[in-house]
Amino acid sequence: MKAGILMGQQPQPTTRTTRTRRSYLKLFAALVIAALYARLFYTRHSHAHKVARVQKCSISNLHADLSFLEVSPITTDEFIARRDNLARALHAEGVDAFVLEPGYTFQYYGNISQQDWEPWEPEERPMLMIVEPAHNSTTNTVVAKTSFLSPAFEEGRVRMLGIPANGELDIVPWEEHWNPYRTLRESRLFAGRENVTLMVDEEMRDYIVRGLRSNGFETLGLAGEVEAVRQIKTPAEIELLRAVNTGTVEAVRAMRPCLVPGLIEDEVMEILDNSLLSVGFSLFFDIVLFEENGALPHGGFVTGGKVLREDSVVLIDVGAHYLGYSSDICRSFFIPTWKGWSLWEKVMSILTFSKPCSSSAKTDTDLYAEKLKVWDIVLEAQTESAKMFKPNNSAASVDIAARKVISDAGYGEMFTHRVGHGIGIKAHESPYLNKGNHEVLLRPGMTFTSEPGIYMLNKFGVRHEDIYAVTEDGEAELLTGKRAVSPWEP
């Protein structure tokens, strides 16, 4: 036994040992304080930085290849040719004239939208385009004779709109105290004719149709060959649809690798909107839904605030406008896993105890497996629907083909909407692809969405949407660049 240490007594720690323990305690306390401070700082300040970083990443990825923007706008000659096509359709249908007011159809035939004419709201004073079939004796063909009914005080503004035409616009003015419809009926356009039949555009407001009808015109709704003029796209239109729809898909693809857990639906929507604006697209709609919110195909009043997790199914349905044409696409996908995070993100998430469970999808393996299964079923349904985009097939056949795949897989009741619709200057155009539309036959040049989906209430939703053109040879042409490959490569 050493001197100074009695039997049964513990040796006292040396001064050096005490200092070492104190140093460790101080270091541990400093680390705890640093971690708490980092967590506080990270929580308060890093989320905005995270959103900004995702935004920068998304735009940078998108701008890496902007070849989809290499397209030309519709020319003056094509606008005039459209009205000539309309005139021939009117002649074939035995209709005296087609009447329309500013809106999508006016934009199609005259390059003037509702906002171009009245940016605040549709005005009560009628300003109408009237297209009549006329005979060109030189070419022995039917061509369009285009005129306009305008408030007299707006005549100068109508001429300044730049409506494509050969020469001066033919305008019938009406004073504020006149009946505009009676003025049109008694004008040089229709005076002396016993019966005048007008086909009115589907966007025409009811009070204008009633005004025409009560002042000597017979009216018909849009139908037949006249309706088909806008349904059948020219090569220039198809290229514009390819540009805006491919660009919209690429914006979603560019954003996906940048997404991280913790973002909410509205933040992802804003990031995507800003990416689309950065390439010159104008915004139309943007629906971003996570998990069970995606079981409502177009979302709802309670969506927008759900937080993104690694195992979330993200459903994005988005449309934009470019050079007068619309996109309407949808992608369903998973975001990159924690393994794909940057070193800085990993360090900060560990220091702040905020690392998401990278295996959160595994907390319910059955649900995760069903997500993958449903994703594949919906893609197969889209594949089968695309095979039906052939001349002379019915509009119904496209829906039926997709619906059969989903029904055979046991999810028929969860496919709750039609499979698609026409698309052009307007995102939703006729013909409409539902299982009851057997009357409409597909023609070369028609363009459609194919967007089958499965929606499992309180769980998740999956939808794939691409754009197709019907071609002469029967092989549908994809106008969205490329289709989705997997939930990690949408």
Q: What is the CATH number of the domain that holds 145?
A: 3.40.350.10
Cα gap 409→373, rounded to integer Å: 10
Which residue among 231, 254, 270 closes a domain?
A: 231
pLDDT at 8: 52
Which residue among 205, 231, 257 closes a domain?
A: 231
Where do the H-state alpha helices sit in 163-284?
180-185, 206-213, 224-231, 235-255, 265-278
Residues in the chain: 490
pLDDT at 42: 56
Neighbour count for residue 457 (Cβ, 10 Å): 10
Residue 238 lies inside a defined structural domain of this protein:
yes
Residue 229 one-letter amino acid: V
Q: How many CA atoms, within 13 angstroms, populate the side-chain half-sphere of residue 279?
A: 32
Cα gap 355→350, rounded to integer Å: 6
Q: How many CA atoms, within 13 angstroms, populate the side-chain half-sphere of residue 40?
A: 6
pLDDT at 84: 97
Domain range for 123 is 76-231
- Considering the domain architecture, whether residues 380 and 399 belong to the same structural domain is answered as yes
- Considering the domain architecture, whether residues 340 and 199 belong to the same structural domain is answered as no
- Please give the model's pTM, rounded to 2 decimal places: 0.87
- Considering the domain architecture, whether residues 138 and 263 belong to the same structural domain is answered as no
Contact 220, 209 (CB under 8 A): no
CA distances 175 to 6, 153, 166, 169, 407, Å, are 121, 8, 27, 18, 60
pLDDT at 352: 45
Task: Domain count for the chain, please give it.
Answer: 2
pLDDT in tens, the chain (490 residues): 444 444 555 555 556 677 777 777 778 877 877 777 666 665 556 789 899 999 999 999 999 999 999 999 999 999 999 999 999 999 999 999 999 999 999 999 999 999 999 988 888 999 999 999 999 888 899 999 999 999 999 999 999 999 999 999 999 999 999 999 999 999 999 999 999 999 999 999 999 999 999 999 999 999 999 999 999 999 999 999 999 999 999 999 999 999 999 999 999 999 999 999 999 999 999 999 999 999 999 998 778 999 999 999 999 999 999 999 999 999 999 999 755 555 655 565 555 444 544 434 445 789 999 999 999 999 999 999 999 999 999 999 999 999 999 999 999 999 999 999 999 999 999 999 999 999 999 999 999 999 999 999 999 999 999 999 999 998 999 999 999 999 999 9
Cα gap 342→354, rounded to integer Å: 15
Cα gap 94→224, rounded to integer Å: 11
pLDDT at 361: 40
For the CA atoms of 335, 340, 342, 344, the dihedral, rounded to the nearest 10 degrees, stands at 90
3-class secondary-structure state, position 314: strand
3-class secondary-structure state, position 462: strand
- Considering the domain architecture, whether residues 472 and 400 belong to the same structural domain is answered as yes
Cα gap 182→186, rounded to integer Å: 6
